[in-house]
Amino acid sequence: MSDYLRDGAAIYRQSFATIRAESDLSAFSADLEPVVVRMIHASGQTDLTDDVVATPGVVAAARAALAAGGPILCDANMVASGVTRTRLPADNPVRCHLGEPGLAELAESMGTTRTAAALQYWRDDLARSVVAIGNAPTALFALLDLIDDGWPRPAAIVGAPVGFVGAAESCAALAARNDLEFITVTGRRGGSAITAAALNALASPVE
């Protein structure tokens, strides 16, 4: 029989200890550090700290919104599937609208991706929500444009789409904002796992 660690809790403890030993977390506040640790844990990249940008109030804003029952609005089913429901403080709804009837036609009429077009279903929930965009740069660009057009601002945004076309640019656009609470990953890195990991850490301070 192979010799390997089988205790789940011990694996978590050793993983987080390794991350803290190998990563420079000195730039992050006490409440943000566990969020970044979770993001590193999801990516396996201890230098992710070089690319994480966040506002000082994002943790408090996200936790207040979730404690009040606010929804989590996701750009992709992979992000929604990565949310650990037992960590949610108020049995919060986790929504992704990619399955809406007629979405493909709506996207075609708007001249954009289905993921960006799906934001049209978010308007009534945005003001009290935590937004999680981990797949589509077009969704993050669209969200910022909608906010500029007068749509409600979400309580907090986890914006970390991944890729080679638009990912770095959309995250840079979010990082440049001074009117939103957010956490993002600049450059090409990001993705559904990192975004869901950040959400799980925001949802509960329990490591």
Q: Where in the sequence numbering do the catalytic residues fall? A: 41
Q: How many CB atoms lie within 10 A of CB 121?
A: 16
The vertex-185 CA angle with 180 and 187, nearest 5°, equals 120
CB half-sphere exposure, 136, CA atoms < 13 A:
21
- What 3-state class would DSSP assign to 184? strand
Q: How many CB atoms lie within 10 A of CB 101?
A: 7
49 vs 172: CA distance, rounded Å: 16
Token couple for 37:
């640790």
Query: Beta strand pairing status for 130-133 and 182-185?
Result: unpaired
- What 3-state class would DSSP assign to 205? coil
109 vs 114: CA distance, rounded Å: 11
- Alpha carbon of residue 134 to chain centroid: 6
Token couple for 205:
């301070």
